[in-house]
Amino acid sequence: MKVTARRAQLHHQKALQLWKYYKWILWLALSVFLFLTTSTTSSTFSFLFHPLHLKPNLPARALIEAREPSSSPLPKVYVYELPSRYNKDWLSDPRCGSHLFASEVAIHEALLGYPGRAVDPDDADFFFVPVYVSCNFSTPNGFPSLHHARPLLSSAVDFVSSRFPFWNRSHGRDHVVVASHDYGACFHAMEDVAMADGIPEFLERSIILQTFGVRSPHPCQRAEHVLIPPYVPPGIEDERPAPEKARRNIFVFFRGKMEVHPKNVSGRFYGRRVRTEIWRRYNANPRFRLQRKRSGDYRAEMARSVFCLCPLGWAPWSPRLVESVALGCVPVIIADNIRLPFPEAVRWPEISVTVAEADVGRLEATLDHVAATNLSAIQRNLWDPARRRALLFHRPMEQGDATWHVLRALEGMRPRRRLSRPRGGGANRHVEVARRSYTGSGHGRLRSHHEPVA
């Protein structure tokens, strides 16, 4: 009897122990169930019940990017390989690759390294014609020298159209040319002459990348075009501390041409006398740092300034538009009717102040009002690195930089410009004919598609 009682006692103790563990397991399972069924974010845990369908060998970066909103791919661009007299020879002047018109060089070099560069021209959406017309930009009288632009471009178009089928196939509609000087595709520095000359007939159907833009109709923007920023070397970002860390002890800044007595140049006044009026009214004002020559520690002073004046010159645009954004100084745009580059990305009204040319007499009061009301909001927007990146041409191209935005703009033109492709490999045959013709032409050797231009 004692043995039986002892066994019964041991069996009861084991049962109690098992029940203790069973209660814990039951409680845990119930807790998990209630959590998954009542949580407002229960969809997050759906992967516990539904298998993930992942592409094999897909890298982690691709998985991250796949969750982001998809966007259309950038277009494929074929870059013509022209004789060096159209581009490379001009680089003997070092200014050619760094002055305010140098976007023609920067875009060319960026496209040569662009992953979407079309090796086979039959695959191309667009064709880039790399001609540097703005390198010899300064003559003794200070005017840009563009007398060679039209004949040089005409010669390049003749070269391309006689050796390749693509220009004639589209009449140049899918061909892209840079015109980075004052009045863009009209190729003259004086507006009245530029308007009278108009866009060369052989470029009227092409796409022009140009710095000139106004909101009203104008003969120099009648061709389809993409408005681009003037060139400022991208290293400007590395010259100074980040804009939000700068000590800004200059209220208003401007350095540049400011004639005390504006000269009438064949009936034209530089900058429509706006700069002369600024000098006359504010030269003695200690809150305005004005200098009549663009020299000295120009960018250091700009980086220390709250507001940077960007008045028009011969044309409405100015390199100061880019310099001020890059250095975190609020651009004060004084150029009636101006149209600005990449408005969707830069959102100029959020980062700048616009003053009418006729209102420069009230400039100080206007800027005082901005400083007292919404200056901090403007500066927060201005100091966003994406705004700076969108206005600078990097080499090689970076996502979100100026060349990238040019390609995005071209992508928007692609649906109405895509043409049927010639059959039977005709394009490649013409490319090979062009290569042999150029090799024996006495102008040099045509590079292969994979060989970069220096």
Same domain, 328 and 224: no
Q: Is residue 88 part of a domain?
A: yes
**Rounded-to-integer distance, Cα 59 and Cα 69, Å:** 18
Give the CATH number, domain containing residue 269.
3.40.50
Question: Which positions ≥6 away from 90 have C-beta within 8 Å?
Answer: 96, 132, 135, 136
**Rounded-to-integer distance, Cα 336 and Cα 334, Å:** 6
Same domain, 87 and 201: yes
Q: Is residue 61 part of a domain?
A: no
Q: Is residue 378 part of a domain?
A: yes
What per-residue confidence (pLDDT) applies to 415?
55
Maximum Cα–Cα distance across the chain: 132
Domain encompassing residue 364:
236-390
Half-sphere exposure of 378 (CA within 13 A, CB side): 22
Same domain, 268 and 342: yes
What per-residue confidence (pLDDT) applies to 454?
30
Same domain, 91 and 168: yes
pLDDT in tens, 300-333: 999 999 999 999 999 999 999 999 999 999 999 9
Length of the chain: 454
Torsion of CA 337, 343, 347, 353, to 10 degrees: -20
Query: Alpha helices of 384-444 — where are they, by DSSP H?
Result: 385-390, 402-413, 426-439
What per-residue confidence (pLDDT) applies to 67?
30
Same domain, 300 and 220: no
Q: pLDDT below 70 — which residues of the chain? A: 1-72, 136-144, 415-454
**Rounded-to-integer distance, Cα 137 and Cα 102, Å:** 10
Same domain, 82 and 125: yes
Four-residue CA torsion sign, 45, 63, 124, 183 = positive
Same domain, 252 and 344: yes
Same domain, 121 and 224: yes
Same domain, 150 and 216: yes
Same domain, 96 and 147: yes
**Rounded-to-integer distance, Cα 167 and Cα 78, Å:** 12
**Rounded-to-integer distance, Cα 319 and Cα 211, Å:** 10
Q: Is residue 402 part of a domain?
A: yes
Four-residue CA torsion sign, 10, 15, 20, 21 = positive
Domain count, the chain: 2
What's the predicted TM-score (pTM) here? 0.77
Q: Which residues of 294-310 are buried (b: 16+ CB within 10 A; e: fewer)?
A: eeeebbebbbbbbbbbb
Choosing from 356, 374, 390, the residue where a domain stops is 390
Torsion of CA 415, 417, 418, 422, to 10 degrees: 170
Q: Is residue 339 part of a domain?
A: yes
∠ CA(379), CA(383), CA(385), 5° rounding? 160
Q: Is residue 34 part of a domain?
A: no
Four-residue CA torsion sign, 182, 183, 186, 190 = negative
Same domain, 428 and 292: no
The residue type found at 73 is P
pLDDT in tens, 391-402: 999 999 999 999
Q: What are phi and psi of 354, to 5 degrees?
A: -110, 130
247 burial level (CB within 10 Å; 0-12, 13-18, 19+):
exposed
Q: Is residue 354 part of a domain?
A: yes
Q: Is residue 133 part of a domain?
A: yes
Same domain, 142 and 167: yes
Please check whether residue 225 is in contact with residue 210, taking contact to mean a CB–CB distance below 8 angstroms: yes
Strand partners, 123: none
Choosing from 390, 417, 447, the residue where a domain stops is 390
